[in-house]
Chains A and B, each alone.
Chain A
Amino acid sequence: MERSANGPQPPVAPASSRRRFLKRGLALGAALVTGGRTVPGHGQQAPDDPSKVVGGPMVPYGERSPFEEASKQKGPPFMPDEWGGNFTPLDETLGIITPSALHFEVCRGGIPDIDPRKHRLLIHGMVDRPSMLTVDELRRLPSTSRILSLECAGNTRSEWRAPTAGNVRFTHGLTSCSEWTGVALSLLLREAGPHKGATWIVAEGADATGNERSIPMTKAMDDVLVAYGQNGEAPRPGNGYPLRLIVPGWEGNVNVKWLRRIKVVAQPYMTRMESPDHTSLLPNGKARQFLFVMEAKSVITFPSGGQRLSGPGFHEIRGLAWSGRGFVRRVEISTNGGKTWREARLQAPILRFAHTRFALDWRWDGRETVLQSRCTDETGYVQPTLAELVKVRGLNSIYHNNAIQNWKVLADGSIQNVHA
């Protein structure tokens, strides 16, 4: 019934799009019944000239146009919705800010349902003054905002042995960029008065996994935030509502979501998420631990896997670069599989630890070729090729794959994920 109210289905092939459409159809159908007026969108006839009719009502909390479809994608598909990654569609986002609704999520115990009035942050352990704080109390303290990218340590993990993911969502979509607002953790720690010898903290989340991570005191006192804001409003539930630890430049998992406890301690605690997980096995049988910093990385988002060039001629190559060590200084692009490189334009604003957007004018001659991007950060570190990375790390590292991505352009304009 609801479906017919929305007219015929658009010609969408993938099952996931169809499901999304059906869900949207239900929502629109409900709106039609309750609101008593037509809603533009799929199956709805938008007027040919919108200036000839009165438009729709203003609403308290804005939704995007029903014509817009960019969505996160869950993976791997065989896992339940409470576990795994929900990838940002980097091929569809614009500028450097990821809309909160499209910010990637990784969950291992579902998204907790938290009443902010009941939520508390406990700071205890090796401190003079243990403290229990409400969210409102944290909001009263001096506030700071920073635009920061956040990348899962496991981003691009599918690509070590063979080109596996078909598109940039699944190769690189576990990175996003938001403006985060909150209180400096250093302020809270100074208020608590850490003891001599307190060299680490352990941060814990309030979700079903009780995610805990050890963080050195030097970083905790440097630039870490206890965030209660993301892009101008409270963080989305999947991104840590109502409090999230934000650790600039460090792997996503230490940016503890649903933050409820900080214990000040004298050693790392070797928690679940920093011993079997988030450690990298090297060829010599030893494992690297506490990798923390996400190394400089870039990826071309257009043209990228699964897309198709309309034809030979002008195309703007576009992409994103970031570094856990600070500024992106330079991005170079090769349109011939790494034989020669040209410097891309970096688009302002260029911010430390944030996504930096780059672009390059390109005239495609219609022949097969391979596109690559590589970035250099403020320390002079250059993004490695996969071969260079594998030489040092082997094939069992799982995490921190920041290798150069190859997109092969076929003669018909279609784009494939390949290893050079």
Chain B
Amino acid sequence: MFTRRHRLGLWALLFVVTSVAGSKALAQMPTYGVGRAPTPEEVKAWDLTIPPDGQGLPPGRGTAVLG
């Protein structure tokens, strides 16, 4: 059971964890060392996700109206 106090504690802990994890300078070394580094080709083949600013789109052009 989580009391309000526990939840506050969890949020505080979460803040610390995310602050630490989010800081490149303080990034921890891996603990488990499971998995391998992907090849650039493997990432390129799957990474088809394009953010709203269009970064990563292949060369080309178009407009919303044309679309």
Contact = CB atoms under 8 A, between A and B. Distances in A.
B34 A130 contact: no
Contacts of A212: 49
A196 interface: yes
B64 to A, nearest CB: 14
B59 to A, nearest CB: 21
B22 A210 contact: no
Interface in A113-154: 122-124, 128-134, 137-138, 140-141
B52 interface: yes
Nearest to B31: A191
B66 interface: no
B51 A129 contact: no
A301 to B, nearest CB: 26
Given A269-B50, A326-B2, A352-B2, A196 B24 contact: yes
Given A129-B37, A194-B22, A197-B22, A202 B31 contact: no
Which of B24, B25, B35 lies at the interface centre, i.e. has the most chain A CB atoms within 10 A of its CB? B35
Contacts of A195: 22, 24
Contacts of B31: 190-191
Query: Which of under 10, 10 to 19, 20 to 34, or 35 or more describes the interface residues of B?
Result: 20 to 34
Nearest to A200: B51
A91 interface: no
B51 to A, nearest CB: 5
B14 A194 contact: no
Secondary structure dominating the interface of A: mixed
A130 B43 contact: yes
A289 interface: no
B63 interface: no
B24 A271 contact: no
Contact of A221 (B18, B24, B38): B18
B23 A196 contact: yes
Interface in B1-47: 1-2, 14, 17-18, 21-25, 27-28, 30-32, 34-38, 42-43, 46-47
Interface string A162-197: 000000000000000000000000110111011111
Given A124-B43, A128-B24, A133 B34 contact: yes
Contact of A132 (B24, B30, B42, B52): B42
B21 A190 contact: yes
A131 B24 CA distance: 17
A352 B10 CA distance: 15
A97 interface: no
B65 interface: no
Contacts of B28: 190, 193
Contacts of B48: 210
Interface in A359-418: none
A33 to B, nearest CB: 46
Interface stretch (A40-48, A67-75, A243-251, A259-267): A259-267
A270 interface: yes
B49 A269 contact: yes
Nearest to A142: B32
A331 interface: no
A389 B1 CA distance: 30
A269 B52 CA distance: 6
A326 B30 CA distance: 32
A159 interface: no
Interface in A265-292: 265, 267, 269-271
Interface of B: 1-2, 14, 17-18, 21-25, 27-28, 30-32, 34-38, 42-43, 46-52
